């Protein structure tokens, strides 16, 4: 089963998870980290793999013009039918239905690890953003995939970091359950893919609580 198909299968779980106030680290960690990297308004924003639309709604609240795109019909419908609805395109990140150089900013929030065709997707993001435009990325830090637990204050590495591998994680919190299906890719895979597509990384930040980082954010400019 593709990652896209898996996310559609778990869309109901994600809607409950993402929309439960204070339940997820998006508002405490991910959104503040991305907001620090936001460039001055440079035209329309494309929110790739927008999910149920929470990042897009935050950007709209700051005055940006946002269009979302998602492969999951259930999540795209949820974003488009929210009280603060976004215009949403139902499409794959590897085949974006936009003209060349159509937007000034592309956001990819917690999604590159969930995309089946990474190189094709980054190439499409580069195609639709204007030269000099920006791509903002947030990821679960790849090192977190390999260190799922701490023992007596020491990190216990249980997986190989450098190879790419499919992962499935079942999480329960405050009565809600979510199944995350994604790809582990080392940081080098992401940087290589972005460079190959025509992006130059201009800022890269790591954050988290405790001994190890779990959040990675970066800004890249379309050359």
Instruction: Spell out the per-residue pLDDT of the chain, length 223, in tens.
Output: 899 999 999 999 999 999 998 888 999 999 999 999 999 877 899 999 999 999 999 999 999 999 999 999 999 999 999 999 999 999 999 999 999 999 999 999 999 999 999 999 999 999 999 999 999 999 999 999 998 665 556 667 789 999 999 999 999 998 999 999 999 999 999 999 999 999 999 999 999 887 889 999 999 999 9
- Give CATH for domain 3-222: 3.40.50.150
Contact 68, 47 (CB under 8 A): yes
pTM of the model: 0.94
**CA distances from residue 168 to 4, 59, 164, 195 in whole angstroms, order as listed:** 13, 30, 13, 28
Domain locations in the chain?
A: 3-222
Count CB-CB contacts under 10 A for residue 81: 12
């Amino acid at each position: 089963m593709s990652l896209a198909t898996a996310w559609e299968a778990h869309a109901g779980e994600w809607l409950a998870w993402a929309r439960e106030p204070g339940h997820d680290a998006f508002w405490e960690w991910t959104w503040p980290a991305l907001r620090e990297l936001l460039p001055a308004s440079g035209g329309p924003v494309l929110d790739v793999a927008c999910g149920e639309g929470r990042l897009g709604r935050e950007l709209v609240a700051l005055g940006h013009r946002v269009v979302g795109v998602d492969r999951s019909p259930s999540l795209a419908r949820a974003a488009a039918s929210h009280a603060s609805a976004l215009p949403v395109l139902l499409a794959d990140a590897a085949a974006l239905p936009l003209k060349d150089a159509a937007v000034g900013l592309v956001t990819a929030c917690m999604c590159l690890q969930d995309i089946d065709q990474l190189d094709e997707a980054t190439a499409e993001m580069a195609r639709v953003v204007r030269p000099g435009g920006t791509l903002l990325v947030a990821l679960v830090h790849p090192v977190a995939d390999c260190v799922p637990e701490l023992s007596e204050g020491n990190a216990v590495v249980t997986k190989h970091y450098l190879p790419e591998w499919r992962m499935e994680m079942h999480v329960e919190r405050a009565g809600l359950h979510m199944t995350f299906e994604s790809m582990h890719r080392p940081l080098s895979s992401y940087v290589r893919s972005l460079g190959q597509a025509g992006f130059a990384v201009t800022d890269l930040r790591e954050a988290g609580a405790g001994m190890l980082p779990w959040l990675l954010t970066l800004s890249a400019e379309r050359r």
